[in-house]
C-alpha cells in the first residue's frame, strides 16, 4: 500500500509512505481536517495500481485519532494474451479450444474462435477489453479430434494492463517439465510438490500444494476440473490414463478473495520401476542351497534335493 495525508486548506502533505501491512500511524500531525488516501499495488515489477480509497478525518489536540479507509478495485478493462508452442511435436491437424471464465460465472465461457490464431506449431489467444477481476482459463490442444495437451491457469485482469503467459509443450517422452513464462498478475505464489513426477501406469502418487492454509482449493487434470478434488493434496491414480505427459494444476483462493494457481507436469510410464525405486539388500552369505532343501522333503511329492553346493557351483561355474 501507499499512504499519504493532505491537510485541508493548506499545502501541508505527509507521505506518500509505502507500507506492507494494513495499518500506519502519522505522528506529529497538525490539528485540522486531513484527507487520508490509500493506494493498493500488486506485487509486479514495475508495480501496477489495483485499488484506491480515501477518507477525511478531523485531528484534535491531545488525542489519538483513528480512522479506516475502504480500498476498492480500480475499474477498467485489460487484455489477456496466451501463447502455446508445441514445436517438435507431431501434430498435423492442430485445434485449440479454450475457455476464459469470470470468477462468479456459473458456466464456462468459451473463447471466441476468432480470438485464436494458429500458425505452424504456435497458437496465440488475444482477448481485449476484459473487465478487471479474476478469470479461470483452461485450454485443450487437439490433433484433429484426439486430445494432445491441456492446462489450467488463474488469470487476473488489471485496468489498462496486459495479463499474459507463454507455455511450451514438451517434446521428449521424458520432458515432463512445462515451460511457462507467466505474467498473469497473480497476487501470490503457489507451489505444487511431489516425491516423483514419473508414474507407472497402474500406480498412485500424491501431490501437495502450498500455501496449505488458504480458504479453498480446486485441482485440474490436463485443464479439466477434477470433481471433489478440493483439498491441500491430491492422490493421482495412473490406472487407465493415457501414456506420456500430462499436467496437474491447482487453483487457490485466500480468505481475502485473492486467487492464484500453479501447474506441475508429470509422465505416465508403461515400464514398471521407472520413476520409482528398488530396495537392495546385500549379505555376506554364499550358500547355494539352504539346508532346509537338503534335509526336508518338499511337498507335494516329498522330494529331497540330493545335490551338494559343490555340484551347483560346478554347474554354474562359480
- Domain end marker among 36, 54, 73: 73
Residues 92 and 230 in one domain: yes
- Domain end marker among 73, 98, 113: 73
Q: In whole angstroms, what is the distance from residue 232 CA to residue 265 CA?
A: 18
The domain in which residue 295 lies consists of: 283-318
Q: How many domains does the chain divide into?
A: 3
Q: Quick check: is 185 in a domain?
A: yes
pLDDT in tens, the chain (318 residues): 999 999 999 999 999 999 988 899 998 889 999 999 999 998 777 788 889 999 999 999 888 888 999 988 899 999 999 999 999 888 899 999 999 999 989 899 999 999 999 999 999 999 999 999 999 999 999 999 998 999 999 999 999 999 999 998 877 554 444 555 667 888 899 999 998 888 877 688 999 999 999 999 999 999 999 999 999 999 998 888 888 889 999 999 999 899 999 999 888 876 654 444 444 454 555 555 556 556 666 665 666 666 676 776 666 554
Q: Quick check: is 274 in a domain?
A: no
Residues 55 and 114 in one domain: no
Q: Determine the pLDDT at residue 196.
A: 83
What does pTM read for this prediction? Answer: 0.74
- Tell me which residue of 269, 23, 52, 294 sits closest to 158, measured CA to CA: 52
Amino acid at each position: 500500500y501507499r499512504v499519504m495525508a493532505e491537510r485541508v486548506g493548506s499545502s501541508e502533505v505527509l507521505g506518500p509512505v509505502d507500507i506492507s501491512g494494513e495499518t500506519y500511524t502519522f505522528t506529529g500531525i497538525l490539528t485540522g481536517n486531513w484527507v487520508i488516501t490509500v493506494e493498493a499495488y500488486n506485487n509486479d515489477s514495475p508495480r501496477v495500481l489495483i485499488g484506491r480509497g480515501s477518507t477525511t478525518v478531523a485531528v484534535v489536540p491531545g488525542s489519538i485519532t483513528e480512522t479506516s479507509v475502504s480500498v476498492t478495485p480500480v475499474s477498467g478493462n485489460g487484455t489477456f494474451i496466451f501463447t502455446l508452442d508445441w514445436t517438435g511435436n507431431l501434430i498435423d491437424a492442430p485445434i485449440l479450444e479454450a475457455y476464459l471464465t469470470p470468477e462468479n460465472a456459473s458456466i464456462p465461457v468459451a473463447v471466441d474462435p476468432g480470438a485464436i490464431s494458429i500458425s505452424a506449431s504456435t497458437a496465440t489467444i488475444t482477448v481485449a477489453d476484459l473487465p478487471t477481476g479474476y478469470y479461470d482459463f483452461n485450454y485443450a490442444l487437439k490433433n484433429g479430434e484426439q486430445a494432445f495437451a491441456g492446462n489450467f491457469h488463474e488469470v487476473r485482469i488489471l485496468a489498462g494492463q496486459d495479463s499474459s503467459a507463454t507455455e511450451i509443450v514438451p517434446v521428449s517422452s521424458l520432458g515432463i517439465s512445462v515451460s511457462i513464462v507467466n505474467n498473469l498478475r497473480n497476487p501470490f505464489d503457489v507451489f505444487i510438490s511431489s516425491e516423483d513426477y514419473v508414474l507407472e501406469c497402474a500406480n498412485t502418487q500424491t501431490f501437495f500444494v502450498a500455501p496449505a492454509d488458504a480458504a479453498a482449493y480446486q485441482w485440474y487434470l490436463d485443464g479439466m476440473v477434477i470433481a471433489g478434488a478440493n483439498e491441500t493434496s491430491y492422490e493421482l491414480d495412473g490406472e487407465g490414463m493415457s501414456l506420456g505427459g500430462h499436467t496437474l494444476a491447482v487453483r487457490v483462493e485466500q480468505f481475502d478473495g485473492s486467487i492464484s494457481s500453479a501447474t506441475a507436469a508429470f509422465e505416465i510410464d508403461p515400464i514398471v520401476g521407472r520413476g520409482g525405486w528398488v530396495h537392495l539388500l546385500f549379505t555376506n552369505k554364499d550358500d547355494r542351497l539352504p539346508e532346509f532343501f537338503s534335509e526336508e522333503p518338499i511337498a507335494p511329492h516329498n522330494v529331497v534335493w540330493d545335490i551338494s553346493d559343490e555340484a551347483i557351483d560346478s554347474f554354474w561355474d562359480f
